[in-house]
Amino acid sequence: MSILKQLMHKCRRKSPWLFHLNTGSCNGCDIELVTCLSPRYDVEQLGIHLEGSPRHADILCITGPVTRNTLEAVKTVYSQVCEPKAVVALGSCPASCNVFAGSPVIEGPLSKHIPVDVYVPGCPPHPDAIINGIARAAEILASRGVPEKAKGEPQK
């Protein structure tokens, strides 16, 4: 494996970039995620960065039950996040659809459509719990190593 690939792998473990996707939530979890970026919690000083594009992210943070209108967006965004990647489900809606369960417009839970690595319980979850969930997702990224494409390259 090249030195550049090793450096990229180390940086992904130490400073994961997040992409946030709202799949029909009430915005309670979204507000708590943004609170993590505020000066009180300041996860950016730990290297965690909220990214505007899924192509640059390592961890996908999803809030809300999966609705009929957002289902294709979930699949598209998930496919755009580069390997290795991790998915964090924030709140009880992605896990169980919460109070929205049984609605004809709900296609959830999230794990029915994409693999979920970390569930952060709560309605909404506390910022400390969100930070803990992101830290667990970063550990999962570290254990997954480098993508298969990089493993197959000849070493020099």
Residue 112 structure tokens: 């029915």
State the fold for domain 12-146: Rossmann fold (3.40.50)
First to last CA, the chain: 8
The rounded distance, in Å, linking the Cα atoms of 50 and 149 is 26
The rounded distance, in Å, linking the Cα atoms of 34 and 60 is 15
Determine what percent of the chain falls in helix, strand and coil, rounding each to the nearest 5. 45, 15, 40
The rounded distance, in Å, linking the Cα atoms of 129 and 116 is 16
Q: Would you kindly state where each structural domain of the chain is located, as residue ranges? A: 12-146
pLDDT in 10s for each residue of the chain, 156 residues: 577 767 666 666 667 899 999 998 899 999 999 999 888 888 888 888 889 999 999 999 999 999 999 999 999 999 999 888 999 999 999 999 888 888 899 997 999 999 999 999 999 999 999 999 998 998 888 887 655 544 444 443
Q: How many CA atoms lie within 13 A of 132 on its CB side?
A: 8
Looking at residue 10, its pLDDT comes to: 67
Question: What are the residue ranges of helices labelled H in 45-105?
Answer: 71-80, 93-96
The rounded distance, in Å, linking the Cα atoms of 123 and 26 is 10
Q: Round the average pLDDT of the chain to a whole number and report it.
A: 85
The rounded distance, in Å, linking the Cα atoms of 88 and 34 is 15
Decide: helix, strand or coil at residue 63.
strand
pTM: 0.83
Looking at residue 32, its pLDDT comes to: 93
